[in-house]
Structure 1
């Protein structure tokens, strides 16, 4: 693979937080944003505003919750986390259109984009499964 092929593939598989904000405002019904982070609930209590929460370890059992007619945008913790990549592989193998949000929730928060704090009634499971 040459450099051009690499960068074309990278751009095809990812979307930056800025590009996602712009695209989702222009066509909000085109996308579904999913938080696929695993880990203890107390560290996952802040999520990107409007994101569905489907931990990567539950994804294979919850495919019916994900629409095939939307582009699925996945995110995890940060640039060092590969949880979204693992989730993307599962979704791609099942016929979904998928991109990874570059930088995860860390980049999103750094840009001061909207987040939500989960309440007790939306408590997440504590086992990591990482």
Structure 2
């Protein structure tokens, strides 16, 4: 693969926070944004506004919730996280059109784009129940 092929493939497989925000504002019916981060609810309480929360570990059993007629945009924590890439591969293998949001929620927050804080919805448990 030469450099041009690499960059074209990268642009086809990803979308920047700025480009997603503009595209979603222009044609919201075309996109389905998914927060695929794993981990306890309290560490995932801040999400991109309008995102559907389907952690990677629940994806296979919740596949029916993801529309095939929309472009799926997945995100995870940051540039160092590959969970969104794993989810994108899983969905692409099943016929979905998918792109990864570059930089994850960290890049989104860095740009001060709209988020939702669900921490008030989280019930605190005194014990882990282990």
- TM-score with structure 2 length normalisation? 0.91
Corresponding position of 1:35: 35
Question: Secondary structure, in 3 states, of the residue corresponding to 1:99?
Answer: strand
Question: Secondary structure, in 3 states, of the residue corresponding to 2:50?
Answer: coil
| Cα-Cα RMSD | 1.2
CA distance in 2, matches of 1:93, 1:122: 34
Unaligned runs of 5+ in 1: 124-130
Q: CA deviation at 1:61?
A: 1.0
- TM-score with structure 1 length normalisation? 0.91
Unaligned runs of 5+ in 2: 124-130
CA distance in 1, matches of 2:67, 2:41: 26
1:63 aligns with 2:63: yes
1:8 aligns with 2:34: no
Corresponding position of 1:78: 78
**Count of aligned pairs between the two proteins:** 123
Query: Which aligned runs of 4 or more in structure 1 are off by greater than 6 angstroms?
Result: none
Structure whose CA Rg is larger: 2
